[in-house]
Amino acid sequence: MESQEYLSKVPAITLSFWVIKIAATTLGETGGDTVTMTMDLGYLVGTAIFFSILILFVVLQILAKRFHPFLYWATIVASTTAGTTMADFADRSLGIGYVGGSLILWCCVMGLLGLWYWSEGSVSTDVINTPKVEAFYWATITFSQTLGTALGDWAADAGLGYEGGAMVFAAALAVVALLYWKTAVSRVALFWIAFILTRPLGATVGDLFDKPRAEGGLDVSRPIASAIIAVFIVACLLILPQRAGKHLNVA
């Protein structure tokens, strides 16, 4: 049998990936809140807007023949913004609450990963190479972004505040990094744990930027905060190395 290396349509998991991912999740928080709160369109309308944008970008991502950094990260931003509005709609408008919303979304993420593994035999991002796998990938990412939003809000509301919540999730990510470098724990499991944890980190940092000082925030305008983070992401894409991940095809 011969093995041949093929490029994936998602980026290689490098330090720059995580830097941009955290920035994207923060933008998702401030961007989602800009539409639902600052523009006062509400969580349902915000969810409809961002979910429609997300579907468009996912379709474009699946139709693409190769990895396009700006398209990929635009899809990530769309998923994290849609995740923000969906979590807020479930937690607040539907009255499920942070605990109930987090538990339901956790079950959704675990269910998707289980179905993906049952269907394909792997949930590794090294094998994102067919429309079916890409559909699993983006569905899992969207639910993980929504879960992360609920977890971040839960932590802040539970008494940690925005600074405390950010510190807790940053510490949890540091533990994951330590496990990656010092142990043989499944790299696939660590990736998904880290991917989920970066979302509440971004949520708490985003809330820290735009919430009023009376609520423990810095009271930065949501549109201005969103614009600053967006410029930072674009700069990262232009400056930091962006390359496609690789997978082996055995013939």
Task: Convert the pLDDT of each residue in 150-166 to its tens digit.
Answer: 777 777 677 777 677 77
Whether the predicted pLDDT of 20 surpasses 90: yes
The single-letter DSSP state of residue 211 is: S
Question: Shortest CA distance to 51 belongs to which of 18, 24, 89?
Answer: 89
Give the pLDDT confidence of 60-82 residue by residue, as tens digits.
999 988 889 999 999 999 999 99
pLDDT band at 2 (very low <50, low <70, confident <90, very high): very low
In sequence order, what DSSP letters do the residues of 186-205 get, joined into one string?
-HHHHHHHHHHHHHHHHHHH
Higher pLDDT, 239 or 129: 239
Report how many domains make up the chain. 1
Task: Please name the amino acid found at residue 120.
Answer: E
3-state class percentages of the chain: helix first, strand second, coil last, to nearest 5: 80, 5, 15
Beta bridge partners of 244: 11
Residue from 172, 180, 160 nearest 199 by CA: 172
| pLDDT over 90 (residue 114) | yes
What's the confidence (pLDDT) of residue 170? 87
Q: How far is 79 from 90, CA to CA, in rounded Å?
A: 16
**pTM, full prediction:** 0.86
- Domain limits at 25? 3-250
